[in-house]
Amino acid sequence: MNIKDSLDKLFSLHNFGVKLGLENITKFLKILNDPQNDLKTIHIAGSNGKGSTSAFISSILQEHKFKVGLYTSPHFVKFNERININGNEIEDEYIVDFISKHFEYIEENQVTFFEVTTAMAFCYFRDQKVDYAVIETGLGGRLDATNVLNPLCSVITSISLEHTKILGDTIEKIAAEKAGIIKPESKVLIGLLPVQATKVITSKCSSINTKCIQIENYISNKKRNILINFDNNRLAIKELPLPGIYQKQNAALASLTVMSIVINYGTKLIESGLANVVQNTSLSGRYEFYNKKPDIIFDSAHNPDGITKFLSEFSRHSKKYKKKYLLYSSLNDKDYKSMLKTLRKEFENIYLTKINYERSANIEELVYAAKELSFNVKVSTDNNLLIKKFKNNNKADCLVIIGSMYLLGDIKSILQPTN
């Protein structure tokens, strides 16, 4: 079996759908000798910011000379992106061997795509003897396949209304689902959350004797910089490779996480980890400039809160552009009407497209949502051609591609072909 055959088999597991719950993954991990029990893990959940925060944590730990596994989802172009150690993606050979050995069990027991990928990551990190593994949840927390861990600490980056049909239709209900990753007599670090969410989490921590470290108690703002005071140490977060005050908040949460678990951490090494996050982890899709003059910006914001945060940064620079174009798409379970309404405040030239994914919102639904909001849009059926034409536009123009990591993955696959 080669890598193409293995990935075809793996992606075919999408037919089993999404199964929230731990019974399936627990049984499979038992067959694999419970690799998760041999790992020192940091477990991360959140509506937004978990990918960036995970990358910052991994990068900081690497600067401290640790061997760090990083498990994230989804991937942009290549499956291997999901599982990496110190910025190096899992080898094709490991994937082939894992699928070959276990596919009969996987198929017979209808283990899902995400459950298999999670188990593979745990095995790979164990076999490679990582010092730490940074593990990002897939959906929610309590019933997510990653929630078999007994982590050094849990991290909750943000909470907003998302996946309401699955996680609940209030901030409190969603907070309770995310709080499901918090373990007894452990510790959890939380970002700047809504008051209702903070109450749910602190109450949970009190009931299970877990220490809750709230970022708001350790940071202060000075202009657009963030100052951290923790454990008699002071750290200033100034310029980062990822623009936006919200990324500085993610960086602060990551810094506090490392400070809380590494005994002999160094503030200079933390600064290096923040500065080198892109090189150390290959992080992309966060206010990423694909082209300059004319500017083409990729951003993976995929819900109303994420769109608002992106625009908070984009609006600081948008007046310099002569014309601003938008290429947008969404999954069908997202509040795309709300996102389009918000994006319309900055963009007059809006193109809609379809994502090559089974949960993609169809073009007709997106166009209808725009019409309900009383503005016209265009439809792009050839994004490669759209981008090529735009690159020949006025150098003072800007094109933003936003709405989903899956959209960015589709476009990156076109622009950067891979096997």
Q: Residue type for 343, please?
A: L
Indicate the pLDDT class of residue 248, thresholds 50, 70 and 90: very high
Indicate whether 85 and 137 sit together in one domain. yes
For residues 177-202, average pLDDT: 95
The pLDDT, as a whole number, for residue 308 is 95
DSSP string, 179-197: GGG--TTSEEEE-S--HHH
Q: What is the mean pLDDT of the chain?
A: 93
Show the domain range for 343: 288-415
Q: Structure pTM?
A: 0.93
212/184 Cα distance (integer angstroms): 11
Indicate whether 276 and 294 sit together in one domain. no
Residue 293 has pLDDT above 90, yes or no: yes
* CATH code for the domain of 335: 3.90.190.20
Residue 169 has pLDDT above 80, yes or no: no
396/295 Cα distance (integer angstroms): 8
pLDDT digits (tens, 9 = 90+) for 316-341: 999 999 999 999 999 888 889 999 99
Indicate whether 202 and 315 sit together in one domain. no
Indicate the pLDDT class of residue 299, thresholds 50, 70 and 90: very high
Indicate whether 191 and 213 sit together in one domain. yes
Indicate whether 191 and 320 sit together in one domain. no
Among 281, 306, 339, the domain boundary falls at 281
The pLDDT, as a whole number, for residue 419 is 44
For residues 91-96, average pLDDT: 98
Residue 224 has pLDDT above 90, yes or no: no
The pLDDT, as a whole number, for residue 21 is 86
Query: If you search the block for the tokens 């960086």, which residue do you land on?
Result: 251
| Higher local confidence (pLDDT), 307 or 166 | 307
pLDDT digits (tens, 9 = 90+) for 19-50: 778 999 999 999 999 999 999 999 999 999 99
Indicate whether 266 and 313 sit together in one domain. no
* CATH code for the domain of 98: 3.40.1190.10
Query: If you search the block for the tokens 């899902």, which residue do you land on?
Result: 112
Task: Domain count for the chain, please give it.
Answer: 2
Indicate whether 264 and 122 sit together in one domain. yes
195/43 Cα distance (integer angstroms): 22
Burial class, 58, CB count within 10 angstroms (exposed 0-12 / middle 13-18 / buried 19+): buried
